[in-house]
Amino acid sequence: MSARGRLHGAIDVVVTEVVELNSLIKRFHFARPDGKPLPAFSGGAHIIIQMQDGDTLRGSPYSLSSSPLDTRDYQVSIRRDDQGRGGSLYLHREVKPGMKMSITHPSNMFALDKRASRHLMLAGGIGITPFMSQTAQLAQMPGVHAELHYGMRSRELGVYLEELASRLGSRFHVYADEDNEQIDYDRLLSSQPAGTHLYVCGPSPMIDLVLRKSAEHGWPDNHVHYEHFAKASSGEPFNVELRASGKTIEVGAEQSMLEAIEAAGVDAPYLCRGGACGQCETRVLSVDGELLHEDHWLEDDEKASGEKIMPCVSRCRGTVVLDR
């Protein structure tokens, strides 16, 4: 966010509806104040919601869970994360219908491969949200096979079960931990016809497991799609010298490095703000202390080299000098 406290290219919206889906998940509806359609998006896209939480200005990515065919509003379904940095808590507690907010244009790092005629989708918990927009899009693509396997702690915590059942019929499968139901990854991954594309979104251990198992079962990387937004974590405050801008800043305990850079009025690139897209990759000139990498973008050897960092989610212990 710039010094004026706004994401670049932000869209001003009004919260039109807040729906409590269950004890943990609320759905928020955003529309333009003048009621005109919002920009088009594709299934799997996300927006960044800007939040002015007291003195802290944050931007967090959330998948759109509404249909790409209806842009009168955008809907996001957000699970309250009591351990998080506060983005979801702020949304759950503070955001009410009628509030004015800013969001970014949608971007998509979890798009359907439209060359495929078969899509296998695996969702865990709140990881269902991008599949809501994807299955809405697929409903308009006759002859394309999509099946969705949705794991959750309990059926009470599942969302959109009826809507997905009506969209996908017998190709929708629900698994609840409390009923001892588990997705049989080995069976699913070994029995898909050639040409199938695999999509997984859920908690990190689930994504890691599916990536490992799909590799074991010989799935090529290009057929495997996953989305996992790392959370900009809180931690000890640390110092950053922005060599190119000639500034030294402190990153607060509840602030991300990117947010601190933006608060200092330095225009830094970003797209997902979740350590996944690679847009904010920044060269590390030197570090006195230790880099704490939290992203899914850099390769292990790049992380080990200490030459690059993703300021949207990663932190540092000590002082780091960036080429920014």
> Which residues of this chain interact with other proteins, rule CB under 8 A?
115-118, 189-196, 198, 215-223
Residue 233 has which token pair?
A: 């974590």
Nearer to other proteins, 152 or 189 (CB): 189
Contact 129, 63 (CB under 8 A): yes
Minimum Å gap between C-beta 209 and other proteins is: 16
**Those residues with Cβ within 8 angstroms of residue 105's Cβ, 6 or more apart along the chain or in another chain:** 9, 11, 39, 47
Nearer to other proteins, 218 or 246 (CB): 218
**Those residues with Cβ within 8 angstroms of residue 236's Cβ, 6 or more apart along the chain or in another chain:** 253, 315, 317
Minimum Å gap between C-beta 200 and other proteins is: 14
Minimum Å gap between C-beta 97 and other proteins is: 44
Q: 74-79 and 224-227 as β-strands: parallel, antiparallel, unpaired? A: unpaired
How far, in Å, CA of 75 to CA of 254, rounded?
27
DSSP 45: -
Contact 118, 145 (CB under 8 A): yes
Nearer to other proteins, 147 or 254 (CB): 147
Nearer to other proteins, 67 or 192 (CB): 192
Contact 8, 2 (CB under 8 A): yes
| The amino acid at 203 | P
Contact 144, 119 (CB under 8 A): yes
Nearer to other proteins, 93 or 212 (CB): 212
Minimum Å gap between C-beta 223 and other proteins is: 6
Q: What is the DSSP string of 54-115?
A: TTEEEEEEEEB-S-TT--SSEEEEEE--TTSSSHHHHHHHH--TT-EEEEPPPB-SS---TT
Minimum Å gap between C-beta 111 and other proteins is: 15
Nearer to other proteins, 11 or 188 (CB): 188
Nearer to other proteins, 118 or 171 (CB): 118
3-state DSSP assignment of residue 308: strand
Nearer to other proteins, 154 or 190 (CB): 190
Minimum Å gap between C-beta 110 and other proteins is: 17
Nearer to other proteins, 80 or 114 (CB): 114
Measured between alpha carbons, how far is residue 131 from residues 66, 226, 256, 296 in Å? 10, 11, 28, 21
Q: How many CB atoms lie within 10 A of CB 169?
A: 9
Minimum Å gap between C-beta 144 and other proteins is: 10
Minimum Å gap between C-beta 116 and other proteins is: 5
How far, in Å, CA of 168 to CA of 145, rounded?
9
Minimum Å gap between C-beta 119 and other proteins is: 11
How far, in Å, CA of 36 to CA of 309, rounded?
39
